[in-house]
Each structure stands twice: as C-alpha cells, then as structure tokens.
Amino acid sequence: ISCACVLCLMKVTGDLDDCTCDVETIDRFNNDQLFSKLQTLLESDYFRFYKVNLNKACPFWTVRSHCGLKDCAVQPCSPNEVPEGLRSSSHNKVSQSGSADQESPCEQAGHLGAVDVSLSDETREALLNWSKHDDEAERFCVVDDEESPDSQYVDLLLNPERFTAYRGPEAWQIWNSIYEENCFKPYTIKRPLIPNLFHSSSGSEGQCVEKRAFYRLISGLHASINIHLSARYLLDDSWFQKKWGHNVSEFRQRFDSELTAGEGPKRLRNLYFLFLIELRALAKALPVFQQPSFRLYTGRPEEDRRHKEQLLHILQLARSFPLHFDETSLFAGDEKEAAKLKEDIRLAFLNISRIMDCVGCFKCRLWGKLQTQGLGTALKILFSERQIEALPTSSSKRPSFQLSRQEISSLLNAFGRISTSIRELQNFRSLLAEER
C-alpha cells in the first residue's frame, strides 16, 4: 500500500506560515488538554440546541432539487415539544418550576433563554439588552432571525455531521463559488463553474497577508469538513443496520499528496491556521463571558452556574496557549486602505455565509451554516478589540460589545468541529500506519 498519505501527514509539521506557532504544539495542546473538556461542554443543553432557519431560499441561484436521502434530513424539535416561552420569545419569559428529569430534551431546550427570577431587576435589564443589539456593521456572517417562524431548534447531538452520500450539483458549485467568486469584488455568478472541490493554496501566493489569511481560513474550513465526512463515513448501509466510521480511502482521496498534486498537506496546514484564528478569538472573548450579567441560561441555575465555570475554564485555557496568532499583523498598513480591505473581507465572508443557504443537503446546510457563522463570530471578536476593552464593569450599563446566544453557540460549536478535526488526524495517522 502506498505510504504517500502517511508521508503527507508527516509533512504537516513545523512552523505555520504567517504564524509563530508549530503543528506539534497545537496537536499536544488540543489533543491532551482541550479536546475532552470542550466536548463535555458542547454536550450541555445550552450548546447542543441550536436555532436555525433551514428554509431560506438560495440568494444566488435556483436550487432545483434537495437531497431526498434519509441521512440528509434534519430532525428539529417539533412545535408541540417546545414550551410557549421559547416559541414566543426566548428572552422575556420567566422559567417555570418543574422536574427536569421529567421533561423531554426539546422541552428542556425551551428554557435556554429563560430569565431566572432570582436575578435583580438591574441584572435582568442588562440581560434583555443583550438581545437588542444592532451591530450589523460589525458582523462577518448572516445570523438567522430567531423570531422567524421558519427558525427551529435542532439538537446537534441527534443530527451529527457525517457523510450523507449526497452528491448533488450544489456540492461542487458551493465551494467553487466560494473560491472563485469571492475575490473581494461584488458577488455575481456569471458562468457555470468547473468542478474543483479544493482551491489551490498557490492561488494566494503573492497576496497581502490579509487576503492570504482569508483564503487559508476558507481552505481550512473546507479541510475540516472533509475530515469529518471521512471520519464518519457510511461504511455499511444494509437493511438491518447503518454503520459509520473512518474511511481511510476517502481520506486519502482528499489529502494524499500524490492524489492531490501536492495540495493535501497544504490543506491540512490551513486547518491548523484556522484553529489558531478561532483559538485566538476565544482567548480575546474571555472578558465578554466574565461579565457578571452573562449567564448560560437553561432555566436550571445550578447547572447553568457549573457550565459557565466550565466555559470560563476553557477560555482561560485558550488564553494560556503560548503561541497565539498575532492579529495585529492584519490591517496594519495605511488606515484608509486597511479599513477598505477589512470591509471587502467582511462582505466576502457575508457572501460565504449566504451561500450556505444554497446547500441541497439539509444536514450539510445545518453544519455549514453553523461553522461559517462560528468563524464569522470569531472574526467579529478579533476585530472588536477596542469595544471588548471598553466593556463596563457594572451590569447596569449597556455593553459596548455584545454577542447573541446564536453567535455564542455557533462560536463554540464551530471551534469544537475544528478541535475534532485535529483529533481525527491523529486517528488517521494510526490507521494509515497500520495499512503500511
């Protein structure tokens, strides 16, 4: 058996371009310190339930068909399972007392945004302000309207990201559109796009660090998604069982240096670059979550307190990482040119988040929307340093920087996907070594 793919993973070592960090340090930090803690937090109700609108029309082209495969479907919480407090407004209802172990998961999800009546009026008012922010000019992604009748809660643990066997035309059109049409100009689709599931990283050579970083982030996100699909591949689809697991052949097709004309290792290095960007955003967001008014509301005070402690521990762990990406290298030139470039990149990323509504497979659409929104939220944090530094110490004052619950959930879940991808690379290294 060819050892090319084992070698391609071995080549992903040493320093990363545009960074002071190295792959080995990231592997040790993620796999030994961070991964298990993060996964435990993401299993909590605040993060496992994600409200999303999967019925938006594609704004760029006509989606002629949707995936009819069972594994493409998403199972949302049905309306009669969601309490009235969540259906009408998740921020202005008082949680009802009751036994949590007698509630269904979707009923428990209904308390996600409920206000704890033990809070003071001052703190409650501060919490309400969090849901009334108007920071559209700072967003790098489209955030679904949680009050829309088409938005529904989805249990991410019951709808995992994995291979669905969907191979519709949008599968390649999505990524070609992202790579070819978002070159910092107004988004238009003028021609059919040639299938090419990965953009060559060489296309970013000679560009300024900002544009190179933009392409590396998208390439890293694409690599991460493909690792997930290879790690949870449908191996057995018989009439009596479905079995998902690691598909080494599929992984090799996507990352083998020989089969990808040398691009595989570059894609994996871009995954590590993406990890550093999102890790840096988590570290910088720590003051946001340390505010006294911030709560992970599920309506169960003791669990909420414990989960906030877990979240703060993870963010403090992120801050302790010794080789963070230095975001000050971005947009550091002429002030006017830097502002224009930042806006171009922000608009390009907004387009990418809109493209996710064009995915024909609903499960792929769910995870695509979540991960692009998570990355967009990370970028919003990175470029809001002054607002974060100006956060008030009093809970009665309106925060200068705010995140919606949807942004918080997507930020942590998206980073959880990147963390999982890096952990899975370790598994694929072992499997490929066994094949030799």
Q: Quote the Cα angle for 358-275-424, to 5°.
A: 85
Are 259 and 252 in contact by the 8 Å Cβ rule? The answer is: yes
Q: Please, what sign has the CA dihedral across residues 384, 389, 395, 400?
A: negative
361 is a catalytic site residue: yes
61 is in an annotated binding site: no
User: Going by C-beta distance under 8 Å and a sequence separation of 6 or more, which residues neighbour residue 68?
Assistant: none
E strands, 46-184, are: 49-53, 151-155
Q: Is 372 annotated as a binding residue?
A: no
Distance, CA of 372 to CA of 411 (rounded, Å): 9
Specify whether the CB–CB gap between 321 and 283 falls below 8 A: yes
Which helix (H) or strand (E) segment is 242 a member of?
strand 242-245
Name every residue whose Cβ is closer than 8 Å to that of residue 90 and which is 6 or more positions away in sequence.
Answer: 112, 113, 114, 146, 405
Q: Which residues contact 232 (CB under 8 A, 6 or more apart)?
A: 160, 161, 162, 163, 244, 245
Q: Is 320 exposed, middle or buried (0-12, 13-18, 19+ CB in 10 A)?
A: exposed
Q: According to the annotation, is 346 in a ligand binding site? A: no
364 catalytic? Reply is yes
Is 133 annotated as ligand-binding? Answer: no
Please indicate if the annotation marks 219 as binding a ligand.
yes
Q: Which residues contact 302 (CB under 8 A, 6 or more apart)?
A: none
- Cβ–Cβ under 8 Å, residues 352 and 372: yes
295 is in an annotated binding site: no
Per the annotation, binding residues for FAD are 162, 164, 175, 219, 222, 254
Catalytic residue positions, numbered = 361, 364
Binding region: 162, 164, 175, 219, 222, 254
